Amino acid sequence: MSTLPGPRGTRMFVEASGDTPLVWFEVCAQSGASSDPFGVEGLTRHASMLARRGAGDLDRAALDEALDGLGAVLDVAAGRDTVTLSGLCLTRNLDRVVDLAADVLAAPRFEALEHERLLRETPQVIDEIHDDDSSLATRWFDRECAPGHAYARTSVGTTASLARIDRDAAAATWRRLFVPRNVLIGVAGDVDEDRAATIAQRLVERLPDGPPPPLPAFDEGAAPRGRRLVVVDKADRTQAQLRLGHLGPRWGGDDTPAMLLLETAFGGMFSSRLMQEIRVKRGWSYGAGCSLRRSRGAHWFEMWMATAIEVAGDAAALTLQLYGDLVARGLTADEIDFARSYLVGSMPFHLATARQRMQLAVRDVAFGLAPDYTATLPDRLADLGVDEVRAAAARHLRPDDVVTVAVTTAADASDALTQATGAAATIVAHDAY
């Protein structure tokens, strides 16, 4: 991986590989949906999707047709921390695809017709979330885990916030995001550094000057104290989608290696404690796991499972008990060794292609880390033992402050969940958010 100063104050990451005649590139703005104005959630996503719907001399249909004719892909993805334009094409078509990408970046059309169409389409996305219990549980958990935190707000939007999005604001948001000093450029595949530098120059040469937009504040002390229970009421459920967790530490902090071992041994493998106790021994859920969310700021430590409604309370109670034991006693030496072996052995799968290596480098830098942070993370696990892992658990895991979100039929499950968590149930309609 070559890390280079890019044109106009950008940073550039190049991973050359001539194995196939393909080139991948990414233009990553280091700001995302967590910076949406309050009450206008969904603005960054809307701006990002609208920018892709026609640019330069081409409307949406013509742009799609041009890409199809080149066998190429241009996508825009809006996350909480970043907005990324990504491209994939054959080497022989690279120049033409870069021209199209440069138009999307610097000259999106933001047509009124597409703006109105997208405003009609996005409520359908929200309806699809309401229909899918797993997605709905995640949406409500994000909202309830640490209210007021930058990541607690939806990137898709709500019915009310979508009504406040106007076309001029969307265009201004895009222009504010894609200024050179806020941009990372990744190129991978059948290119050398000189060709990559030329590509980068063409991608950003027409972008407006300006300062990087300010980042939202990420307050690790904002987490509510005490256990809470939110039951998302949905009629005629036979299952309960459960999410349990709290605000965790920032990915990339000093304790990330220890947290990675905790995550893996507790809920990241088939042999992990959660999977063994919830699925293998009791058959309560097909899967059970946990994860520390990977983001620029402090984000959630989350546990999940989907149980039959009759055992939802028992599953929540056991999960909280296991979580308390994890904090009190940490991991055994054998668990640490096995988790470490698993992580070291699985890392090559995340670094197998030039595209993966480039994308990880771009993500790490967008998170404020070194470009090789993820790739070298297994090396940081070597010296961690029982005491270090237990100390990290004590610093960051808070079983007494867990919020439990359950998507289920409240009349059939809320009493058992209240008994399991020790928290009074707040019951909300499934389509209230």
For 365-394, how does the pLDDT look when each residue is reduced to its tens digit (9 = 90+)? 999 999 999 999 999 999 999 999 999 999
HSE-CB for 124 with a 13 A CA cutoff:
5
Q: C-alpha 164: how far from its chain's center?
A: 25
For 80-107, how does the pLDDT look when each residue is reduced to its tens digit (9 = 90+)? 999 999 999 999 999 999 999 999 999 9
The answer to whether position 215 is within a domain reads: no
- Please give the full DSSP string across 82-143, using - where no structure is assigned: -EEEEEEEEGGGHHHHHHHHHHHHH-B---HHHHHHHHHHHHHHHHHHHH-HHHHHHHHHHH
For 301-356, how does the pLDDT look when each residue is reduced to its tens digit (9 = 90+)? 999 999 999 999 999 999 999 999 999 999 999 999 999 999 999 999 999 999 99
Its domain, for residue 114, covers 2-204
The answer to whether position 209 is within a domain reads: no
The verdict on 153 and 265 lying in the same domain is: no
Q: What is the mean pLDDT of the chain?
A: 97
The verdict on 158 and 286 lying in the same domain is: no
- Residue after which a domain boundary falls, among 204, 239, 258: 204
pLDDT at 218: 77
Q: What is the dihedral of CA 153, 157, 162, 167, to 10 degrees?
A: 90
The verdict on 185 and 325 lying in the same domain is: no
The answer to whether position 213 is within a domain reads: no
The verdict on 286 and 317 lying in the same domain is: yes
The answer to whether position 211 is within a domain reads: no
pLDDT at 44: 99
pLDDT at 223: 80
Is residue 408 within 8 A of residue 240, CB to CB? The reply is yes
The answer to whether position 246 is within a domain reads: yes
Structure tokens at 98: 């870069």
Label residue 220 by pLDDT band (50, 70, 90): low
The verdict on 364 and 242 lying in the same domain is: yes
- Residue after which a domain boundary falls, among 204, 237, 262: 204
Give the separation between CA 203 and CA 98, rounded to whole angstroms: 7
For 26-78, how does the pLDDT look when each residue is reduced to its tens digit (9 = 90+)? 999 999 999 999 999 999 999 999 999 999 999 999 999 999 999 999 999 99
The verdict on 37 and 136 lying in the same domain is: yes
For 298-310, how does the pLDDT look when each residue is reduced to its tens digit (9 = 90+)? 999 999 999 999 9
The answer to whether position 218 is within a domain reads: no
The verdict on 199 and 271 lying in the same domain is: no
For 259-307, how does the pLDDT look when each residue is reduced to its tens digit (9 = 90+)? 999 999 999 999 999 999 999 999 999 999 999 999 999 999 999 999 9
The verdict on 248 and 135 lying in the same domain is: no
The verdict on 189 and 52 lying in the same domain is: yes
CATH number at residue 192: 3.30.830.10
The verdict on 158 and 249 lying in the same domain is: no
The verdict on 197 and 234 lying in the same domain is: no
Phi/psi for 234 (5° steps) reads -140, 130
The verdict on 77 and 123 lying in the same domain is: yes
- Overall number of domains in the chain: 2
Label residue 23 by pLDDT band (50, 70, 90): very high
Q: Is the dihedral of CA 40, 45, 50, 56 positive or negative?
A: positive
Q: Give, in degrees to the nearest 5, the angle at Cα 45 between 125 and 98.
A: 120
The answer to whether position 217 is within a domain reads: no
pLDDT at 221: 58
Is residue 250 within 8 A of residue 226, CB to CB? The reply is no
For 235-258, how does the pLDDT look when each residue is reduced to its tens digit (9 = 90+)? 999 999 999 999 999 999 999 999
pLDDT at 217: 82
pLDDT at residue 185 is higher than 90: yes
- Residue after which a domain boundary falls, among 174, 204, 234: 204
Label residue 359 by pLDDT band (50, 70, 90): very high
For 129-172, how does the pLDDT look when each residue is reduced to its tens digit (9 = 90+)? 999 999 999 999 999 999 999 999 999 999 999 999 999 999 99
Kindly report each contact of residues 364-367 with a partner whose C-beta sits within 8 Å and lies 24 or more positions away, as own/partner.
Answer: 364/252, 365/11, 365/13, 365/184, 366/28, 366/30, 366/81, 366/82, 366/184, 366/296, 367/81, 367/251, 367/252, 367/294, 367/295, 367/296
